[in-house]
Amino acid sequence: PNKAETRKSRAHTFIDQTKEFLSSESDKTLKADLTPSELQKRLFYIDQQSKTMVQEQGYNILYIALGFIEWIDKKKPRQKNLAPLILIPVAMERKKVGNSFSLSWTGEDIQNNISIQAKLREAGIELPKFEQTSYIEGVNQYLADVKNAIRPFSKWDVKDDVALGFFSFTKFVMYNDLNPESWSKDVDLTKNELIQSIFNPSKNVYEDTFEEEDVDEKLHYKTMYQVLDADSSQIAVIENVKAGHNLVVEGPPGTGKSQTIVNLIAELIAEGKTVLFVSEKMAALEVVKSRLDSVGLGKFVLELHSHKTRRKQFLKNLKKATNVRATRDLKLDQTLRKLENLRDQLDQYAEVIHTPIANVNLTPFELYGMKESSEDYFARQSKLLPLVRFNNAEDLSMKELDDIIISLENLSELYSTISKNNPWSYCNPKSLLPADLREIELLIRDSLESLSDFRYEMNVVNEVYGIKIPNTLREYEDSITALNILNSESANLVDSSVLLSKHWFNSPEKSLELIKLLQHYQHASGLFNKFSDYLLVADSDTIIYDLEKESNKKFKLFGGNSHKEELYKLYNGNVPSDREALNDLIKVRNHIKIRQSLKDNEALGRAYFGDLWSENANINDLKQVANWMNKFVYLLSNGTFSETTVKMLSNDLFLPDMDSSIDDYVEKGNRFYENLKKLESKLNPRSKIIFKRETEDVPFDKWEIQLNKWKGQLSSLHLWS
């Protein structure tokens, strides 16, 4: 055995040696010569390392060692060595953090230490083989047999210690596999094909290597059994392996290596062969296994790693695999012929796109490449490639194509002669005739004149009504809304004293609550007509209490009639039933509370509505005022209305010809807007690029500047069309 491996295994074995022991036959708690905190740390480390090994390497290394042999190597007579004898595979578990760990047998075979067996065999000592038993006497008997075997060595001993640790014999097993003595005499490992290919790679050459280009020519779908998508390079790998070639496939993650393995397994299964798939990492095994499961081949897989190697699990999986029945013969001839036809069509397509066409003698592949290159250029410039239609494009000669290119180059030169500040940039007029140029000139003039007239009306409206001078077409629409608010009938209902009331600015919703309260009060006022003046002095709460008490009695025949006398005093006419009277009195009480609330909020009501507020105020008028004031406050807050507007409303300076003023203002504004739209229809300017905003949001100053630029460069417009 490898000495370094033996030392490493022994170090791992005894790193957590605690001389654990059972205190009694009934006590199943293992004791250790460690503090509780140290023990928890050790156990947590052992648990994590053992689980990591199972997850990554696929086998268990955690064992309980029973009994140890103390022996001395002849080469190092002063050094005593300690090696375990019986190894029980175990697993650690705890239900939650902080709880104690529990150990359980994994179900795998209990075995003796094969490494120490091999080592002592070199010294001429043959340790007895441990036979698994269900009784502790079997362990004691085995330790006694070992003691007898080492009796000639007086300084050797067998100890009945117990230890929990890591044990791995993978390298020792490999050592035994490569040991020539383990093979038959007629087997020479040095002549093995795989070993030869490792030590003599120059001879590892195959004349019948399958190339990627051979896929379509040599393969037929009827003889292909791939279950996942595969490209030509992956198919070539599969075919070379099927041909018996030894090879290495390499590539970065995500290039389809696992996918190729799955397809290769499927192909070999179809040939009736057995496949051994080995990996250093469990993750690779799981990936391939999951993909085989997903395509329905998992039932043919026998897993030989981790807990799958336990006898019961192994036999279960073996039974499952051997019980797989053959499926019915699938009739795929038609489907396969269809696939062959599709492949032929694709091959023909590839040939067609690489064959020169038309008079230009260029292939479709080259033509599409030119198109994609042009689109890519325009995309990098954040522009759209313009579409140009050709009649009989297939008749276009190379000379004509060259002429087109020359024309485009001339256009490019023409573009360079126009200054970067050219006012017609981002305008897209159609073909313009001299008459069109004259019309555009007149529209520019009319737009400038109408803008000047419109500005005069803006100043008038601002001076008279205090409305903010609009700077854009969108603000112009807001100003019309503001004028209509001032000219509405609701404005006549507003008490000027409340225009700047802080309540409208801070809590406008309170006005609606007051209106609702007053509406409830007015609706219930007619209820008092039923009652006499006695209602003003009567103890209505006591009467309500008596009526409620009376209505809850099960046997009302025995009840008192004292409340009846009170009811006769309260009502003007006929006295209703007790239930109706109770409802009336509850409404009266609520009404009184509402009236008291109105009295308490009298000052607040006047702060919102001024003299319009009273118990008998018209509810519709109050709602109109509330609606009007909310709009007024909004427009005042955003600057549309000004202090002049407030003064005008406060002094009742409503001009008799306000309708006329509004009409003049709207007429001038709409005229400018219409002229501008007509001009835009001719020039088709891209306002969002020229002004960096939509047409409705362009300031009038910007429009005036742009209109004057267009006016000064009319002579160059024909070059742009």
Predicted confidence at residue 286, as pLDDT, reads: 85
Query: Are residues 218 and 169 part of one domain?
Result: no
The average pLDDT across 332-340 equals 86
The answer to whether residue 671 sits within a structural domain is no
Query: Are residues 287 and 236 part of one domain?
Result: yes
Half-sphere exposure of 288 (CA within 13 A, CB side): 22
Predicted confidence at residue 1, as pLDDT, reads: 45
Predicted confidence at residue 202, as pLDDT, reads: 66
Predicted confidence at residue 130, as pLDDT, reads: 85
Query: Residue 548 and residue 561: Cα distance in Å, rounded?
Result: 13
* Contact between residue 80 and residue 64 where contact means Cβ atoms under 8 Å apart: no
Check whether 491 has a pLDDT greater than 50. yes
Count: domains in the chain = 4
Check whether 268 has a pLDDT greater than 90. yes
Pairing of strands 62-73, 111-112: unpaired
* Contact between residue 655 and residue 661 where contact means Cβ atoms under 8 Å apart: yes
- Radius of gyration for the alpha carbons in the chain, expressed in angstroms and rounded: 51
**Cα 447 → chain centroid:** 53
Predicted confidence at residue 7, as pLDDT, reads: 42
The average pLDDT across 126-131 equals 86
- List pLDDT tens digits, range 573-595: 776 776 777 776 777 777 778 77
When comparing pLDDT for 566 and 476, which is higher? Answer: 476
Residue 63 lies in domain: 3-181
Check whether 501 has a pLDDT greater than 70. yes
Give backbone dihedrals phi and psi of 266, rounded to 5 degrees, phi first.
-60, -45
The average pLDDT across 78-107 equals 87
In terms of average pLDDT, the best of 21-30, 136-145, 193-202, 573-582 is 136-145
Predicted confidence at residue 69, as pLDDT, reads: 92
Predicted confidence at residue 454, as pLDDT, reads: 92
Query: Are residues 540 and 487 part of one domain?
Result: yes
Check whether 5 has a pLDDT greater than 60. no
Query: Residue 472 and residue 482: Cα distance in Å, rounded?
Result: 15
Check whether 667 has a pLDDT greater than 80. yes
When comparing pLDDT for 79 and 109, which is higher? Answer: 79
Check whether 538 has a pLDDT greater than 80. no
Check whether 536 has a pLDDT greater than 60. no
Structure confidence at residue 97 as a pLDDT band (50, 70, 90): confident
The average pLDDT across 163-191 equals 80
**Mean pLDDT score of the chain, rounded to an integer?**
82
The answer to whether residue 683 sits within a structural domain is no
Considering 280, 301, 322, which residue would you say is the last residue of a domain? 301
Predicted confidence at residue 6, as pLDDT, reads: 45
The average pLDDT across 385-398 equals 84
Pairing of strands 102-105, 62-73: unpaired
Sequence-ordered strand ranges (E) for 94-169: 102-105, 111-112, 157-166
Query: Are residues 265 and 163 part of one domain?
Result: no
The answer to whether residue 433 sits within a structural domain is no
Query: Are residues 562 and 618 part of one domain?
Result: yes
Check whether 10 has a pLDDT greater than 60. no
Query: Are residues 30 and 92 part of one domain?
Result: yes
Structure confidence at residue 676 as a pLDDT band (50, 70, 90): very high
Instruction: Report the range of poorest mean pLDDT among 177-186, 210-219, 234-243, 266-275.
Output: 177-186
The average pLDDT across 290-316 equals 80
The average pLDDT across 437-459 equals 93
The answer to whether residue 387 sits within a structural domain is yes
Considering 416, 435, 450, which residue would you say is the last residue of a domain? 416
Considering 122, 156, 181, which residue would you say is the last residue of a domain? 181
Predicted confidence at residue 534, as pLDDT, reads: 57
When comparing pLDDT for 61 and 571, which is higher? Answer: 61
Six token digits for residue 346: 């694709």
Query: Are residues 486 and 553 part of one domain?
Result: yes
Query: Are residues 32 and 71 part of one domain?
Result: yes
Check whether 417 has a pLDDT greater than 70. no
The average pLDDT across 303-320 equals 75
Predicted confidence at residue 13, as pLDDT, reads: 38
Structure confidence at residue 533 as a pLDDT band (50, 70, 90): low
The answer to whether residue 215 sits within a structural domain is yes
Predicted confidence at residue 2, as pLDDT, reads: 45
Query: Are residues 216 and 177 part of one domain?
Result: no
Structure confidence at residue 450 as a pLDDT band (50, 70, 90): very high
Instruction: Report the range of poorest mean pLDDT among 31-45, 301-315, 612-626.
Output: 301-315
Query: Residue 333 and residue 326: Cα distance in Å, rounded?
Result: 19
The answer to whether residue 452 sits within a structural domain is no
Query: Are residues 204 and 177 part of one domain?
Result: no
Structure confidence at residue 548 as a pLDDT band (50, 70, 90): low
Predicted confidence at residue 15, as pLDDT, reads: 35
% pLDDT > 70, the chain: 85
SS3 at position 395? helix
Give backbone dihedrals phi and psi of 498, rounded to 5 degrees, phi first.
-100, 0
Predicted confidence at residue 442, as pLDDT, reads: 94
Query: Are residues 247 and 162 part of one domain?
Result: no
Sign of CA dihedral 362, 365, 369, 372: positive
Sequence-ordered strand ranges (E) for 74-146: 76-93, 102-105, 111-112
The long-range contacts involving 196-200, CB below 8 angstroms and separated by at least 24 positions, are: 197/246
DSSP-derived letter for residue 244 is: T
Cα torsion through 190, 193, 199, 203, rounded to 10: 130
Structure confidence at residue 183 as a pLDDT band (50, 70, 90): confident
In terms of average pLDDT, the best of 19-33, 296-310, 570-584, 666-680 is 666-680
Structure confidence at residue 519 as a pLDDT band (50, 70, 90): confident
Predicted confidence at residue 12, as pLDDT, reads: 39
Predicted confidence at residue 265, as pLDDT, reads: 93
Predicted confidence at residue 497, as pLDDT, reads: 86
When comparing pLDDT for 235 and 182, which is higher? Answer: 235
70: CB partners within 8 A, 6+ apart: 80, 81, 82, 156, 157, 158, 159
The average pLDDT across 483-493 equals 86
Query: Are residues 224 and 372 part of one domain?
Result: no
Instruction: Report the range of poorest mean pLDDT among 280-289, 472-481, 509-518, 635-644.
Output: 280-289
Six token digits for residue 74: 């002849």
The answer to whether residue 333 sits within a structural domain is no
% pLDDT > 90, the chain: 17
When comparing pLDDT for 313 and 243, which is higher? Answer: 243
The answer to whether residue 328 sits within a structural domain is no
Structure confidence at residue 558 as a pLDDT band (50, 70, 90): very low
